[in-house]
A = this chain, B = another copy of it.
Amino acid sequence: MNEVFKALADPTRRKILDLLKNQDLSAGEIADHFEMTKPTISHHLNTLKKTGLIQDVKQGQFVIYSLNTTVFHDVMNWFMGVMQSDYKVKGENEK
């Protein structure tokens, strides 16, 4: 959970998540949206992947990244808790 919050603390990584909410993208397509080198973006993608916020699948020479909203539910629940609400987001696990 701490890793998730740390992953979200970087603006580049949050923008990557914003991009992926619209469509799945390859590592290169993601990198094209930034003025950083591909290795740097690759590092950010790896950070996000380790937390489970995104997942990837190899398609030929490309690696396609996509959002995994499951983890978001956990974070949201923490927020709901702090905000005194008893509302909880229902995750895929307990559907």
Contacts and interface: CB of A to CB of B under 8 A. Distances in A.
A82 B18 CA distance: 6
DSSP majority for the A interface? helix
Contacts of A76: 76, 79, 83
Interface residues of A, number: 21
Contacts of A21: 81-84
Contact of A5 (B9, B18, B72): B9
A39 interface: no
Contacts of A6: 9
A79 to B, nearest CB: 5
Interface string A34-76: 0000000000000000000000000000000001010010011
